């Protein structure tokens, strides 16, 4: 099981390096999907299958909206891919920084919580979220709705200014 979790961490780190090193939203979205699926794979390895499924569906739904918006705003005819020297240089730099940080962090301490974990099962976590944090979820939904209207107003003003 530790090999599965290790591969999940490796995929998550490669996905995050792909996001951080790529200026094009097309390829950065692919890196985010890789990082999200690897993070959910880690949760499956730890025994939280329902939470992993919910997180994956919600995250990919949000990523679809963000990708569509960023692709519409940054419509470049020739985006920089992962094979360009500029992107390879940044991937190398971020990879070296990540390896240095990984040398200082002991992952075994995080994974060996065992019987002392806060939430033993993902069902308990979901019910606890709705029981004690329902008003926070309601407030965050309202914040997301207001943010949607603010972004739509900003893009409307910008598109109006480019037409004039």
Residue range 67-91, pLDDT digits in tens: 777 677 666 666 667 677 877 888 8
Per-position b or e across 23-50, b if 16+ CB within 10 A of its CB: ebbebbbbbbbbbbbbbbbbbbbbebee
Contact 80, 91 (CB under 8 A): no
State how many domains the chain has: 1
Q: Is residue 150 part of a domain?
A: no
Q: Is residue 147 part of a domain?
A: no
Model confidence band, residue 109 (pLDDT cutoffs 50, 70, 90): very low
Half-sphere exposure (CA, 13 Å, Cβ side) for 14?
Answer: 11
Q: Is residue 154 part of a domain?
A: no
Q: Which of 19, 56, 58 has its CA nearest to residue 39?
A: 56
Q: Is residue 137 part of a domain?
A: no
Domain extent at residue 78: 2-118
Q: Is residue 108 part of a domain?
A: yes
> Model's pTM, two decimal places?
0.59
């Amino acid at each position: 099981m530790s090999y599965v979790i290790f591969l999940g961490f490796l995929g998550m780190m490669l996905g995050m390096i792909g996001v951080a090193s790529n200026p094009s939203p097309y390829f950065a979205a692919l890196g985010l999907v890789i990082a999200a699926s690897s993070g959910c794979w880690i949760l499956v390895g730890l025994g939280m299958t329902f939470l992993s499924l919910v997180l994956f569906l919600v995250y990919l739904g949000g990523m679809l909206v963000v990708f569509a918006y960023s692709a519409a705003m940054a419509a470049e005819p020739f985006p920089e891919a992962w094979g360009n020297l500029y992107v390879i240089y940044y991937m190398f730099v971020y990879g070296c920084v990540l390896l240095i940080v990984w040398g200082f962090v002991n992952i075994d301490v995080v994974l060996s919580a065992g019987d002392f974990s806060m939430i033993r099962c993902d069902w308990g976590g979901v019910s606890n979220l709705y029981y004690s944090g329902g008003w926070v979820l309601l407030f965050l939904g309202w914040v997301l709705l207001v943010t949607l209207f603010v972004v739509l107003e900003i893009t409307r003003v910008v598109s109006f200014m480019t037409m004039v």
